[in-house]
Structure 1
Amino acid sequence: MSEDRAFVQEFFTARAADWDSKFPADGPAFEAAVAELGLSAGDRVLDAGCGTGRALPPLRAAVGPSGVVVGVDLTPAMLQAALRAGRQAAGRLLLADVSALPVASGAFDAVFAAGLVAHLPQPAENLRELRRVVRPGGVLALFHPLGRAALAARQGRQITQDDLREEPRLRALLAGAGWRMTSYTDEDARFLALAVRDG
């Protein structure tokens, strides 16, 4: 189920101050997901919907001092939490909407997106915009530190038919946006779908 921009901002603004303290054990899952991107020293990577910037330190470690790390988020309060945590040392933080990113086409080698896809207001269009900013052959990682069933259980709900992260649906959604899914993992400890930008 997609959500509109105002709802997303309201939801995350209310939770930004204690977001990291609510999920203190997620660090290793972020590090493992970043490792699967296959980044090299000097690569340029975008953290789309970066929230409090938990992925920025492992992304910086992967690309080294010569690489570029940029985190974008729609919610000022989440970026402020990232600043309070000192994560701007690992990458540049930008207030921006993934539906219209203020970066050049082909600017990045990879996009990392943690917990983003379920909050996209127009998933097909938004995934096309992420494609625009990645070079041909670049990689997209759609990640969550919990799998679909574990996340649904934590939220006290059932997985529904409209779950964008269900494998055939996500594969088709990505293909329609110019991405080719290369791997899909949905287990209690994590959700990770990797895709390559076609053409």
Structure 2
Amino acid sequence: MNNDPASVREFFGGKADTWDSKYPDDTPAYEAGVGELELRPGQSALDAGCGTGRALAALRTAVGAPGTVIGVDLTPQMLRAAARAGRDRLALLLEADAARLPLRGKSLDAVFAAGLVHHLHDPGAGLREFARVCRPGARLALFHPIGRAALAARRGHTLTDDDVRAEPNLRPLLAAAGWRLTRYDDAPDRYLALAVRLDG
């Protein structure tokens, strides 16, 4: 799959209706991933590349009724699946490119991005856009419910040195975009890269 927006939309659009049933046991992993953001009631969080919205319930629980949760995805079929599952009651759902967010600068306390960064046409631009919409001190979680090696094996691929999610590649990319990597965990049962938004 190419990472241009049209190709990404086509790839995921055809999978939207069966996405949740294909991965029915991921909810605890998503809840744990969201928990790493250490959100507080009243804060604001974005699920970037939200897909069918599997993280939205955990994000809503974390920020509570006074908080703000926004789910953004490039693929309208994914957003429709999220709405059919009732997740539009948990968050504002927006169809948009994660690299061009329709949000004010310095308006968010956290960004959760599951399985997204390696699908971005320009990962550096996407990380800069996340930084633009986040306040200094905001947290970013790049997440996947299984690690890179396990995901590659599932798809019949092998890991390559140019994988943007690998720590030697990701750390400088984050730094150039205004983030400091604070934790990196690429275990068989979870991929999690946590970063904090720097001042500026």
TM-score (norm: length of structure 2): 0.98
Summarize deviations over 1:29-85 as a string: whole Å, max 9, x none: 000001110000001000000000000000000000010000000000000000111
Q: Aligned residue for 2:10?
A: 10
Q: Aligned residue for 1:192?
A: 192
Contact 1:9 / 1:74 at 8 angstroms: preserved in 2? yes
Deviating above 4 A after TM superposition, structure 1's stretches of 4 or more consecutive aligned residues are none
Q: Aligned residue for 1:42?
A: 42
Question: For 2:39 and 2:2, how far apart are their aligned partners in 1?
Answer: 29
Question: For 1:169 and 1:29, how far apart are their aligned partners in 2?
Answer: 24
Kindly tell me the number of residue pairs found equivalent between the two proteins.
199
Q: Give secondary structure in 2 for the equivalent of 1:19.
A: helix
Q: CA RMSD in A?
A: 1.0
Stretches of structure 2 lacking an aligned partner (at least 5 in a row)? none
Letter in structure 2 aligned against 1:84: R
Contact 1:79 / 1:95 at 8 angstroms: preserved in 2? yes
Q: After TM superposition, give the deviation of residue 2 of structure 1 in Å.
A: 7.2
Q: Aligned residue for 2:113?
A: 113
Stretches of structure 1 lacking an aligned partner (at least 5 in a row)? none
Q: Give secondary structure in 1 for the equivalent of 2:53.
A: coil
Q: Give secondary structure in 2 for the equivalent of 1:29.
A: helix
Q: Aligned residue for 1:128?
A: 128
Q: After TM superposition, give the deviation of residue 89 of structure 1 in Å.
A: 1.2
Contact 1:76 / 1:95 at 8 angstroms: preserved in 2? yes
Q: Aligned residue for 1:89?
A: 89
Identity of aligned residues (%): 61
Q: Give secondary structure in 2 for the equivalent of 1:181.
A: strand
Q: Aligned residue for 1:159?
A: 159
Question: For 2:53 and 2:3, how far apart are their aligned partners in 1?
Answer: 21
Q: After TM superposition, give the deviation of residue 161 of structure 1 in Å.
A: 1.6
Question: For 1:63 and 1:21, how far apart are their aligned partners in 2?
Answer: 27
Letter in structure 2 aligned against 1:184: Y
Question: For 1:99 and 1:5, how far apart are their aligned partners in 2?
Answer: 10
Question: For 1:55 and 1:122, how far apart are their aligned partners in 2?
Answer: 24
Summarize deviations over 1:9-33 as a string: whole Å, max 9, x none: 0110010010000000000000000
Summarize deviations over 1:113-153 as a string: whole Å, max 9, x none: 00000101011111101100000110000000010000000
Question: For 1:162 and 1:85, how far apart are their aligned partners in 2?
Answer: 36
Q: Give secondary structure in 2 for the equivalent of 1:165.
A: coil
Q: Aligned residue for 1:80?
A: 80
Letter in structure 2 aligned against 1:6: A
